[in-house]
Amino acid sequence: EPEVTQTPSHQVTQMGQEVILRCVPISNHLYFYWYRQILGQKVEFLVSFYNNEISEKSEIFDDQFSVERPDGSNFTLKIRSTKLEDSAMYFCASSPPDRAQTQYFGPGTRLLVL
Amino acid sequence: QKEVEQNSGPLSVPEGAIASLNCTYSDRVSQSFFWYRQYSGKSPELIMSIYSNGDKEDGRFTAQLNKASQYVSLLIRDSQPSDSATYLCAPANDYKLSFGAGTTVTVRA
């Protein structure tokens, strides 16, 4: 069964550094998402992406964040200048064209900002 | 008021029993409702979706939705130790899922 994949599984970075988190959505899916989960807290929506543009974004998704679909298979989340509070698990999700709200999650990238 | 409220638990049930999970939501324009299972340190795994009022059964899982009461529930029948996890309620509005904090279920062997 097709799955969303994410790389790397873990990333440690220094405060102020840029990080890029990568995702490969399920191949026939057209809607892509990023969520994050700070340790011990609930899963929070960051951004949705469709047809090469952002559909919706949350208050968390400020100017330090950006998303891109650089080719036909990858979907990336960039954090320009990481802060300590960006430490979290970041999940990519995708959904099929006929059920846009049915989202399938990848395994996540655990980001630790020191 | 929290967007999505769930009893945090833990909800402890004996093996073979029914686990009953509840969720209320505040956004009346939510169109679809999802239940995810999350094992510790893992990602949310979709287990059920429900779109209209009433019951929907899928294997050992039954979801119930009452939009007038802004209430959605999940029943897990014949609970197994492998069902021990945190269950997340997630209403959808357009393309955004709003997650509750989750109910932790422990199934005692």
- Which pLDDT band, with edges at 50, 70 and 90, does B30 fall under? confident
Contact of B27 with chain A, judged by CB distance below 8 Å, is answered with no
CB-closest option in B31, B32, B44 to A105: B44
CB-closest option in B32, B42, B45 to A101: B32
Q: In the predicted model, is pLDDT for residue B9 greater than 90?
A: no
Residues of A in contact with B36 (CB under 8 A): 105
Could you read off the pLDDT tens digit of each residue along chain A, which spans 114 residues?
A: 889 999 999 999 999 999 999 999 999 999 999 999 999 999 999 999 999 999 999 999 999 999 999 888 899 999 999 999 999 999 999 999 998 899 999 999 999 999
pLDDT of B1: 58
Q: What 8-state DSSP symbol labels residue A109? A: E
**Mean pLDDT, chain B, as a whole number?**
94
Percent of residues in chain A assigned helix, strand, coil, to nearest 5: 5, 50, 45
Q: What 8-state DSSP symbol labels residue A71? A: S
The number of helices, as runs of H, and strands, as runs of E, in chain B is 0, 11
Taking residues B66-74, what's their average pLDDT? 96
- Classify residue B75 as exposed, middle or buried by CB count within 10 Å of its CB (0-12, 13-18, 19+): middle
Contact of A91 with chain B, judged by CB distance below 8 Å, is answered with yes
Q: In the predicted model, is pLDDT for residue B83 greater than 80?
A: yes
Assess contact for A106 and A8: CB atoms under 8 A: no
Assess contact for B86 and B103: CB atoms under 8 A: yes
Cβ–Cβ of A42/B92 closer than 8 Å?
A: no
